[in-house]
């Protein structure tokens, strides 16, 4: 029953779930693993309570405490009106958090830098909002939703109206294990399975920066023909072969 309720909350009741990913190196693991099975069925969504009693830090505090999210934190702090969103106990969120390496790869792809990116506050706010899911969706719930053969893809809504993401379970080239890949309008990324919990939500590290459609309209140079370095267009071929076989 627990699984069914959580699936309903995350996949159907939330057109606002899920997201992206790419292959990670060490450094993204949470400081302490959390037993998700002990979480409330509804993750205390819309309640003035932490998800786990022993996790009192807010999402922003957790990000600040992880050196691998320092670029993300700088981006968040550059848009002050976004800060309160991540420090509200009642509104639970999921952050698809690009690591420092993810940002570095993204900037390299566009011959840019963190300094250049942070100068455009409207772009920063739009891109960051695209990485925020207005609900609680840890990696384990994503995997649960996608593992059945009939759920090969899940469409999810982000905090950018009209700019959705698609979630798929793929086997990257040269890898033996399946991972979750999130594809946006102009880029894609793989998720790390190491969800980082906070009082008011969860952080899912990703290895590339997701670009919403609106950003490519205001900044056409952000259009990526092949899905960007974070997503390989051929990913998923192995899974298709498995199903056909």
Evaluate whether 44 touches 92 at the Cβ level (below 8 Å). yes
Listed residue (177, 69, 174, 176) closest to 131, CA to CA: 69
Close Cβ partners of 223 (under 8 Å, ≥ 6 residues apart): 186, 216
Which strands sit side by side in the sheet containing 196-198, from one edge to the other? 132-133, 93-98, 201-206, 196-198
Instruction: Answer yes or no: is 242 within a domain.
Output: no
Mean pLDDT of 179-206: 95
Say if pTM beats, i.e. exceeds, 0.85: no
pLDDT value, residue 153: 85
Instruction: Answer yes or no: is 239 within a domain.
Output: no
Structural domain containing residue 218: 2-34+42-232
Instruction: Answer yes or no: is 208 within a domain.
Output: yes
Report the percentage of the chain scoring pLDDT > 70.
Answer: 76
Count: domains in the chain: 1
Instruction: Answer yes or no: is 162 within a domain.
Output: yes
The answer on pLDDT for 74 being more than 80 is: yes
- pLDDT bracket for residue 156 (50, 70, 90): confident
Instruction: Answer yes or no: is 83 within a domain.
Output: yes
Listed residue (94, 203, 228) closest to 159, CA to CA: 94
Q: What pLDDT digit, counting tens, does each position of 101-143 carry? A: 999 999 999 899 999 999 999 999 999 999 999 999 999 999 8
Decide the pairing of beta strands 93-98 and 132-133. antiparallel
Instruction: Answer yes or no: is 27 within a domain.
Output: yes
CATH of the domain at 70: 2.30.180.10
Instruction: Answer yes or no: is 200 within a domain.
Output: yes
Question: Token pair of 237, please?
Answer: 């071929």
């Amino acid at each position: 029953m627990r699984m069914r309720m959580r699936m309903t909350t995350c996949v159907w009741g939330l057109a606002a779930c899920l997201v992206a990913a790419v292959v990670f190196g060490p450094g993204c693991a949470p400081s302490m693993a959390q037993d998700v099975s002990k979480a409330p069925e509804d993750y205390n969504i819309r309640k003035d309570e932490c998800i786990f009693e022993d996790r009192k830090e807010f999402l922003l505090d957790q990000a600040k405490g992880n050196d691998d999210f320092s670029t993300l934190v700088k981006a968040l702090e550059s848009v002050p009106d976004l800060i309160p969103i991540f420090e509200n106990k009642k509104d639970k969120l999921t952050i698809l958090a690009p690591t420092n390496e993810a940002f570095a790869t993204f900037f390299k792809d566009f011959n840019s830098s963190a300094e250049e990116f942070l100068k455009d506050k409207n772009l920063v706010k739009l891109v960051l909002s695209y990485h925020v899911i207005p609900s609680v969706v840890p990696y384990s719930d994503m995997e649960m939703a996608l593992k059945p053969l009939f759920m090969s893809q899940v469409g999810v809504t982000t905090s950018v109206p009209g700019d959705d993401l698609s979630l798929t379970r793929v086997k990257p080239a040269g890898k033996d294990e399946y991972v979750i890949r999130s594809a946006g309008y102009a880029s894609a990324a793989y998720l790390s399975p190491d969800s980082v919990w906070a009082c008011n939500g969860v952080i899912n590290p990703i290895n590339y920066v997701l670009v919403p459609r609106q950003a490519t309209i205001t900044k056409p140079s952000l259009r990526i023909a092949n899905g960007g370095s974070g997503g390989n267009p051929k990913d998923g071929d192995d899974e298709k072969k498995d199903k056909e076989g």
